[in-house]
Structure 1
Amino acid sequence: MPKAPQDDGPVGSLPPEHRAVLHRWAEEGGPLATRARVVLLAADGLRDAEISRRLGVSRQTVGTWRQRWTSAGIDGLGHRPRTGRPATVDEAEVVTRTLLAPGGSGASRAVARELGLSHATVAGIRRRWRLSPDEAPAPSVPTRPPLPSAEVWVMGLYVDARRAVLLAGTRQGAPRQPAAGTVLGTDVLAGLDRAVEAALTAAMARGADGDTSPAYGGLAEYLAGAARSHPDLGLHAITLWEMANEPESPQQAVHDKLVTPHQIPARSTWRTFLRAMIALDSTSHPESSRRVYLDLAAELERYAGARPDTPCAAVRWLRENVAGHPGTGHHADSTAGNQPWSGVNQIDLGSFNECVVIETVRLSGTITRGEIAHRTGLTQQSVSRIARSLLDRGILIEDAQRRATSGKPRTPVRLCGTAAHALGIHIDPEVLTAVVIDLDGAIVRTRTRPVTADIDPAEFVERVAALGRETLAEARGSVREDGFLGIGVAVPGPVDIASGTVLGPPLMSAWGDLPLLYLLQEHFPCLVLMEKDSTAAAAGERWIGRDRRARDFAYLYLGTGVGTGLYLNGDLYRGISANAGEFGQLCAIALGRVAEDGRPEILPECNPPVSVPELAVRGGMRPVPAAPGGTPGSTAAYLAVGEAAAAGDPAAAAAVREVARAVGRGALGMVDLLDIDLIVLGGPFFTEDVADFYLDEIARTVNAFPTARRLRRVVVEPSVLSAEAAAVGAASTIFHATFTPRLRGRESRARHLPAG
């Protein structure tokens, strides 16, 4: 809802739909009239004193309704019932307030006080929906007939001029995961409310104009498609509202029994029930993130904004995937407890100071206890106690003694590389790579497996899991049973880290909206984290680069596309959606390349394996024959052009330099924006043959043209990581999450740990 400033100034512009509602209230009279007039006058810029004089009310009354508008929008202007037993109780509203309370654990008394209800009434509603901690593991949704007591997802929404139908999905057998905290903000719910209202207005307008084509036949087609897309779920069509005297029955739309019909609970309105179902889905399943409902709001807005002459008869939003879909039926092996990668690791650091000591030792290589105290500011006694504990657990080991000018010899300590291991998996459109590394970043085992972009998602997940299991099995003799920390997975962006979903990876359209993280967690009973590949590479660079990377830097990742991993202010910088570092649009803006629709152009130069071979051929180089089953512009073609460029072929060299120049212009914008002095180049297409071309061209650009070039010298260096940079980086994210000292942020990722 729109928010007003909290001072005595104007509340700001009102959307037309809200201004219309307020004008209607003002004209109708009654208790809402004064409240509406207060907001309307405030929106026109009048101050409290003038509004009070015009309306003949006290300044306190004016201030109260301005504040209600500020905090809750139109909802805040409504009646707030007094504590007690009202004539009617909207159960769905109670459920929504309970679920979306801070931490997802609204107490009955607090909700009762907020809604003006008795504690017994709220407690009874929570028991009826089975939302109390001591209730069954699955909620009970009292539709008519009730939904089965099972996991519940919001799967779709159908809206036309006659009706609105919510599609819910249920699945038996899996225990309900506890909420990890509210992942859906009130801003998303408010935006969804506005989008639903706009879609309903548009649907009614189209119905009034005689557009009644999407009768139950249209709904039946939608539900049949949903059943085909989600065969592993029980689907339930819940009628939110429908036209009075509708001659047809909802059962006609679901005659094949693949979807069961339901009505909303008798004690709820359809609006509050929709909000309650979204809140239940969001807090019960970590894969039901803000993105799912932002997608729904966008679909409703597209429908509402469509021109009357366009074929847009109904909203037919259908969610793509949920955790466990697409129906692999695979769960963690019952023998997983005998594997070295199962269970909980024993390297659970007990304090922030332990992380500080480990970070200091890691950056230094070897260091004495006295030097640790000097660098960290900790007391000698604290350092000695922490070091003794870390030595006992095998995380640190003592090195050869150093002779001192006075007193007894000093014994430095260093990290024990074999104390901990992690598995990293990199997903690329052409190849899957898995590595096991130790604390020093040494690769213990590595395996690769080819993959094609058209592979079935279920088979793809099985292949990733199988590659991880095989790599771990080969590394078994080198991995301590109590020292395996987890699995990191690096994927192309954009990604939804909060829901563990790969959204729309380049050249991997078949895997869009795939809840990869949670599907993999069914295979591995250990910590599993997912990062964008460029961010993972930056984590690996920081971890393995030690003191050489102990400052802010940007990692330019040359893969299937060019991405950026950012290490700023002592930690990975992911951004609000964990998609920071999308580099292609930055290059396009820097080069002034804009598509016809006004968007920054998708630069071919920012896809090196495609653009470099094409530019080389255009410059006169003979085309490289495609490998069997491959295509022009493949990895093999890129490597051949790089080899020719290193050998002095002018067309090949010119092609690499042209791509390097485009990347350099994007890097220039990044340097000016972030004010950094270190850029690291790496990734599978930053090969030895082309390294000098990229290093020279980018270094020249970022040092010759920045605004603050007189104040800094930007160093451009090759990565310390190998060609498996993203896989090694993915494994390093596990070390980073375990050992890097942070005052906040670790708990937000703790929900990826397996229950129990």
Structure 2
Amino acid sequence: MDVLREWAGGGGPLAVRARVVLLATQGLRDAEIARRLGVSRQTVGTWRHRWQSAGLAGLEQRPRTGRPATVDEAEVVARALLAPGGSGASRAIARELGLSHATVASIRRRWALGGDVTRGARVPTRPPLPGADVWVMGVYVDERRAVLLAGTRPDTPPPAAVATVLGEDVLSGLAGAMDALRPGGPVAPPEDGPAAGPDPELARYLAEATAHHPDIALHAVTLWDGGLVEAAPAGPVPGGVTAHRLPANASWRSFLRAMAALDSTSHPESSRRVYLDLVAALGRGAAPVRWLRENVAGHLRSSVPAPPVTANPSHPSHPSNSANPAANPAAGTANPANPAGTSGTSVPAEPIASSGVNQIDLGSFNECVVIESVRLSGTITRGEIAHRTGLTQQSVSRIARSLIDRGILVEDAQRRATSGKPRTPVRLCGSAAHALGLHIDPEVLTAVVIDLDGAIVCTCTRPVGADTDPAEFVAQVVALGREALEKAQGSVPEDGFLGIGVAVPGPVDIASGTVLGPPLMSAWNDIPLLYLLKDHFPCPVIIEKDSLAAAAGERWIGRDRRARDFAYLYLGTGVGSGLYLNGDLYRGVSANAGEFGQLCAISLGRTGPDGRPEMVPECNPPASVPEFAARNGFPGSGAAAGSTAAYREVGRAAAAGDAFAAAALREVAGAVGRGALGLVDLLDIDLIVLGGPFFTEDTAGFYLDEIHRVVNDFPTARRLRRVEVEPSVLSAEAAAVGAASTIFHATFTPRLRTRARA
């Protein structure tokens, strides 16, 4: 009451509200209070109710709807783009920012933000940015100014395959890092036109940008402080960089957020990794900051000739057709989990459904449930499918009939029943679908074509050097892929080819299909492989880490033998792991789960002076096994150290009984086993699968025995479980077969799609 009396003694709206409440506490009626204070009865009733419901907070000033004196348009745009799917409702944004719905809708029209922001926005800088396709290409910050470098193309961008809207954490970190570099004190807004004198440092940056990004028009938008030069010291900037000022109603901070959100929404290539790199560059604090993003020429989707064998969307087995009710009346509604129907990137794993759904006919989802049941069993009757999936007999019969008519399932010989009519089991038709798998390794390229049963139709390999020029490397990959497709042309119907899976050494940015400095492949740093391959193969292309691809292939081809959680240890040029957990491939937040080397280093206590886990030699078997054997006294035959030939020589000697060679293999296997022990204890799994090009017939026994010993003798819960260590069902081409299997996995594995995280 003391606060109310203090408000009542003052002036303004709070005084009237306080007097209404004080008079009401005296028992006066609304009409009497209105007469005494000279206000309407509605006003008295409003403030009495607010006092009763919210106390003092209910009497305080609230933001009112309607256009305020100034509206930050870029903040409205950023909020709209950060909404799920980039289509935030104008009314929700208006309520959040205290604006009118009409104001928000007007801003969205001015920026050309419709229901599908991926179709290109219009950025109203002064002058406006030309073109509908806008990229963030660079940032320049020195003691005086900050410049955002934008790129534009006149063409409207195609719909993004995956919406990679940045999270609020990344945008806040970006704005905070820029703010930390901003000079102290008030900063005057940029004047019209360029600064009075040339700025050689900025001019050199713009010249470097035009040379680095020759395929896109560049525009420099001044975020704060003076203008910017439009000419280099020796003449015009190559490419003609144009100068722009911020939109009239936008702050530099909100404009930066809006541009980053718009770029990431329109281009899956502009992933969190790109902007985290920018935040890291800004965070180093050294002026000037001269950040340029990687070249996007490979992302611009140039038109190219088609490969010899391509996917045919008209074929019944093609994933896009199975979700088309018009082409497939039995399918019902569209498949909620059909990532392979979208060309480009792999889709983050979704929770797998354990059974079908009868109440709501999900069409192709139920088809995938049936296909998965058939795949795991090999052959199975319709009644057994219904029992395993929870679908009704009628649903299973209808779906099976549709899949048989489309050639995905075939019927086997009838089984005699003890009662009733004979049962007719069904199985997958291997020839119904095919996929190409490419494995990129520092020493060899491998291409395989497999059918739906996992049988290898053909295999092609080609040696390669890790220091090969990237352009030549891509040409070799393309040539090998086409060679495999041509070789398989007699066995693969043109209308039964589903797509291409590519296995690469990690780490890899799945959103943009960029290989990020893989170990032992220095020439492949930040190569946009996905878009370079899409230029040559206009069909669905999925990129996956080699160890994860091998795990996917193990699950697909292993059928019921791999129908539970397991970890796949991939012995290649380096040891990686692929995890299959809760019925699906576990990729992690960035799709780079399974980095095994650091886990081994920690388990072995191998850390550097700075505490960073070391690169343990045992996690590179082709190099470490010959080295350890030679150290033990193995003579060898002079094969190059660290080569595949030297490794295989030691393996043959160990299999023949050579003690030095066997000791080297056991030493490496024991170190790998210590890392596997960490996986077993962390994940509580009971199956480890070993495979890869260096898990050979000669060496398999040593790895299996030693790793089996470690993961069963030392786990914390060893009294509760027995861990099985088994060889892979895949051949030496495990990664390539697994890469092809990712196409089948993405097409036919039943998943319910959930809301994507920002």
TM-score grouping bracket, smaller chain normalisation: 0.7 to 0.9
Pick from 481, 484, 487: which aligns with 1:468? 481
Instruction: Report how far residue 182 of structure 1 moved.
Output: 4.8
- The SS at the match of 1:190 is helix
- The SS at the match of 1:616 is helix
Instruction: Report how far residue 135 of structure 1 moved.
Output: 9.8
The separation in 1 between residues aligned to 2:561 and 2:118, in whole angstroms, is 53
Residues 702-711 or 188-197, more deviating: 188-197
Relative contact order: is structure 1 or structure 2 higher (C-alpha 8 Å, sep ≥ 6)?
2
Change (3 A) 1:267 1:748: closer
Counterpart in the other structure of 1:653: 662
Instruction: Report how far residue 89 of structure 1 moved.
Output: 2.5
Residues 173-182 or 157-166, more deviating: 173-182
Instruction: Report how far residue 203 of structure 1 moved.
Output: 12
Pick from 705, 709, 716: which aligns with 1:696? 705
Pick from 276, 284, 291: which aligns with 1:317? 291
Can you list the C-alpha shifts for 1:97-146, whole angstroms capped at 9, x where unaligned? 22222211123343334333344433333333332359995433222333
The separation in 1 between residues aligned to 2:173 and 2:141, in whole angstroms, is 17
Can you list the C-alpha shifts for 1:608-640, whole angstroms capped at 9, x where unaligned? 1221222222222345545xxxx6312222222
Counterpart in the other structure of 2:221: 238
Counterpart in the other structure of 1:170: 152
Residues 521-530 or 425-434, more deviating: 521-530
The separation in 2 between residues aligned to 1:684 and 1:698, in whole angstroms, is 18
- The SS at the match of 2:298 is coil
Q: In the alignment, residue 303 of structure 2 is paired with which amino acid? A: H
Pick from 719, 724, 740: which aligns with 1:710? 719
Residues 640-649 or 669-678, more deviating: 640-649
User: Contact conserved, 1:552 with 1:678, CA < 8 A, in 2?
Assistant: yes
Pick from 659, 665, 671: which aligns with 1:662? 671
- The SS at the match of 2:495 is coil
Does 1:290 pair with 2:272?
A: yes
Counterpart in the other structure of 2:205: 222
The separation in 2 between residues aligned to 1:479 and 1:448, in whole angstroms, is 19
The separation in 2 between residues aligned to 1:342 and 1:351, in whole angstroms, is 19
Instruction: Report how far residue 332 of structure 1 moved.
Output: 3.3
Counterpart in the other structure of 1:94: 76
Pick from 476, 488, 497: which aligns with 1:484? 497
Change (3 A) 1:395 1:406: same
Counterpart in the other structure of 1:126: 108
The separation in 1 between residues aligned to 2:309 and 2:542, in whole angstroms, is 19
Q: In the alignment, residue 304 of structure 2 is paired with which amino acid? A: A
Does 1:256 pair with 2:237?
A: yes
User: Contact conserved, 1:161 with 1:203, CA < 8 A, in 2?
Assistant: no
Counterpart in the other structure of 1:346: 316
The separation in 1 between residues aligned to 2:314 and 2:516, in whole angstroms, is 30
- The SS at the match of 2:676 is helix
What are the residue-to-residue correspondences of 1:468-617 with 2, within 5 Å? 468-617=481-630
The separation in 2 between residues aligned to 1:260 and 1:714, in whole angstroms, is 64
What 5-or-longer segments of structure 2 have no aligned partner?
1-50, 188-197, 324-362
Change (3 A) 1:283 1:363: same
What are the residue-to-residue correspondences of 1:68-87 with 2, within 5 Å? 82-87=64-69
Change (3 A) 1:179 1:549: closer
Instruction: Report how far residue 717 of structure 1 moved.
Output: 0.7
Can you list the C-alpha shifts for 1:538-560, whole angstroms capped at 9, x where unaligned? 11001111111111111000111
- The SS at the match of 2:490 is helix
- The SS at the match of 1:716 is strand
User: Contact conserved, 1:179 with 1:284, CA < 8 A, in 2?
Assistant: no
The separation in 2 between residues aligned to 1:432 and 1:63, in whole angstroms, is 69
Instruction: Report how far residue 517 of structure 1 moved.
Output: 1.8
Structure 2-normalised TM-score? 0.80
Can you list the C-alpha shifts for 1:371-414, whole angstroms capped at 9, x where unaligned? 22222232222222221111111111111112222332221111
Q: In the alignment, residue 225 of structure 2 is paired with which amino acid? A: E
Q: Who wins on radius of gyration, i.e. which is larger? A: 2
Can you list the C-alpha shifts for 1:211-239, whole angstroms capped at 9, x where unaligned? xxxx9333233333323322222222222
Instruction: Report how far residue 340 of structure 1 moved.
Output: 4.0
Pick from 326, 332, 335: which aligns with 2:304? 332
Report the number of matched residues: 652
- The SS at the match of 2:500 is strand
- The SS at the match of 1:482 is helix
Change (3 A) 1:199 1:655: farther
Counterpart in the other structure of 2:428: 415
- The SS at the match of 1:324 is helix
What 5-or-longer segments of structure 1 have no aligned partner?
1-56, 65-78, 206-214, 304-311, 750-756
User: Contact conserved, 2:309 with 2:497, CA < 8 A, in 1?
Assistant: no
The separation in 2 between residues aligned to 1:60 and 1:510, in whole angstroms, is 65
Counterpart in the other structure of 1:639: 648
Change (3 A) 1:496 1:323: farther
Change (3 A) 1:613 1:344: farther
Q: In the alignment, residue 149 of structure 1 is paired with which amino acid? A: G
The separation in 1 between residues aligned to 2:576 and 2:504, in whole angstroms, is 12
- The CA RMSD measured in Å over matched residues stands at 3.0
The separation in 2 between residues aligned to 1:163 and 1:80, in whole angstroms, is 38
Pick from 431, 443, 446: which aligns with 1:430? 443
- The SS at the match of 1:148 is coil
Q: In the alignment, residue 385 of structure 2 is paired with which amino acid? A: I
Counterpart in the other structure of 1:674: 683
Can you list the C-alpha shifts for 1:465-499, whole angstroms capped at 9, x where unaligned? 33222322222222233322221111111112223
Residues 724-733 or 181-190, more deviating: 181-190
The separation in 2 between residues aligned to 1:122 and 1:238, in whole angstroms, is 24
Change (3 A) 1:598 1:175: same
The separation in 2 between residues aligned to 1:638 and 1:80, in whole angstroms, is 75
The separation in 2 between residues aligned to 1:547 and 1:741, in whole angstroms, is 16
